[in-house]
Structure 1
Amino acid sequence: MVKLIKTTLDNLKRNNMQGYFIEDSKDLFPLLDKLILQGSTVGSGDSVTLEQLGVFDFIRKGNYIFYDKHIENLTSIEKRELYIKNFSVDNFITGCNAITVSGELVNIDGNGSRVAPMIYGPSQVIVIVGKNKIVNNINEAIERVRQISAPLDAKRLKKETPCTKLDRCIDCKHPQRICNSFVVIARQFDYERIKVIIINEDMGY
């Protein structure tokens, strides 16, 4: 697995994205301290991985301006305002559905509020993933997300889509479907922009 991670990191670099390897999740916060400037603005995407790691609490307690969309009882208008702010933040921190060994970031999103800032806007995008997110190719990534990640996420979000009952995707047309935007980030213009942190543990789904 370490060899596979190294190959992935090498290919991320070839695709003009920076990669970092962490053996133990306890080493994550010292790295984030180095990457995120004190007093800078921070936005985030929904991520079970970030929840598990305590990243949101780390940002809240730090000397950052956090556009926190995880506050309870936010209205849809308030959430949209935060989504728009994410385009202009200094740092956007998020998980990722899958990463190919070839160094491509693969995501499926419901309303695009997570993938859109990954593509454009924030000065720095920090992507945090567990080793379980590494796959061989884009087709395998899409299959993994649709058949494993999306049904679990739909359950977490209390959707009524068929996948929550079948535990698999049937490419439904349900109004609550969350598999709407299929996005592959294959390369970046700016080497300083996207930084991918791979942890040698299984994180999220």
Structure 2
Amino acid sequence: MSSATPYSPATAGSISRTIAALAARNVDAILVESREAALAKLREWVPEGAEVFVSTSETLDTIGYTEYMHGNDRYINLHDRMLAQPDAASQREYRRKTTTADHFVGSVQAIAETGEIVVASGSGSQIGAYSYGARRVILVAGTQKICATLAEAEARTRGFTLERHDRWLEGRGSARAPIGKFLVMEHEPVVGRISMILIPESLGW
């Protein structure tokens, strides 16, 4: 990839172009110095007492946000409430409610320097929240996910990201799974609804 390899954080110029392009599409992106700064920013942006759903994310696991939120009774934690449902059918039904969370925190598979955001999902559980349902969406990503073009961002997602996800599934004793839903976020009509925290490290897939 011209702007970054799948493993290497993007250059300063690439990050600057990406942030500007995201802003033109009504996505408020900031660059923080480290994963610790990203965690602090999430704690600032999602106030105590808020309703929040934390999506499954290697990036959020790595920076410590998943652990911080798990069992944290200072928030209305929809993920914990979903897991507390008595059976799989009840969990699926509760997950439908999470798409309209006040705060929905997750990650993405790739970001184009031209401002498009690419998201792939097996179940599609976060797609509805990202595209419309959640009142506020906060996306966290390492800058190695920045690609020069939308075509490269899609290729990264269908290639490198899917391969890494398959290896992760195999490590858990699960079978490989195809991409179920594929979303390209090109423009957000509601100003201030979507924010992104970029971290100058290789985080997630």
Sequence identity percentage: 25
Q: Which stretch of the first structure deviates more once superposed, 77-86 or 44-53?
A: 77-86
The residue matched to 1:157 in structure 2 has which SS? Answer: helix
Deviations 1:154-196 (A, max 9, x none): 23223434xxxxxxxxxxxxxxx33121210011011211001
Deviations 1:6-33 (A, max 9, x none): 1111111100111111121111122112
Alignment partner for residue 65 of structure 1, among 61, 72, 76?
76
Instruction: Give the structure-1-normalised TM-score.
Output: 0.85
Superposed, 1:1-205 pairs within 5 Å as 1-60=11-70, 61=72, 63-68=74-79, 71=83, 75-158=87-170, 159-161=174-176, 177-205=177-205
Q: Please state how far the C-alpha of 1:62 moved relative to its aligned partner.
A: 6.3
Report how many aligned residue pairs link the two structures: 190
Q: Which whole-Å CA distance do the structure 1 matches of 2:164 and 2:17 have between them?
A: 29
Q: Which stretch of the first structure deviates more once superposed, 76-85 or 92-101?
A: 76-85
Q: Is the 8 A contact 2:121 2:182 kept in 1?
A: yes
Q: Please state how far the C-alpha of 1:38 moved relative to its aligned partner.
A: 1.8
Q: Is the 8 A contact 1:44 1:86 kept in 2?
A: no
Q: Which whole-Å CA distance do the structure 1 matches of 2:52 and 2:84 have between them?
A: 18
Q: Is the 8 A contact 1:107 1:182 kept in 2?
A: yes
Q: Which whole-Å CA distance do the structure 2 matches of 1:14 and 1:62 have between them?
A: 37
Instruction: Give the structure-2-normalised TM-score.
Output: 0.85
Q: Please state how far the C-alpha of 1:44 moved relative to its aligned partner.
A: 2.4
The residue matched to 1:50 in structure 2 has which SS? Answer: helix
Q: Is the 8 A contact 2:52 2:101 kept in 1?
A: yes
Return structure 1 stretches of 4+ with deviation > 6 angstroms.
Answer: none
Counterpart position of 1:166? none
Gaps of 5+ in 1: 162-176
Counterpart position of 1:164? none
Deviations 1:52-110 (A, max 9, x none): 11111222336211112695997422431332121221100001000100111101111
Q: Which whole-Å CA distance do the structure 1 matches of 2:47 and 2:118 have between them?
A: 27
Q: Which whole-Å CA distance do the structure 1 matches of 2:73 and 2:143 have between them?
A: 27
Kindly tell me: are residues 98 and 55 of structure 1, through their superposed partners in 2, closer, same or farther at Cα, counting changes over 3 Å?
Answer: same
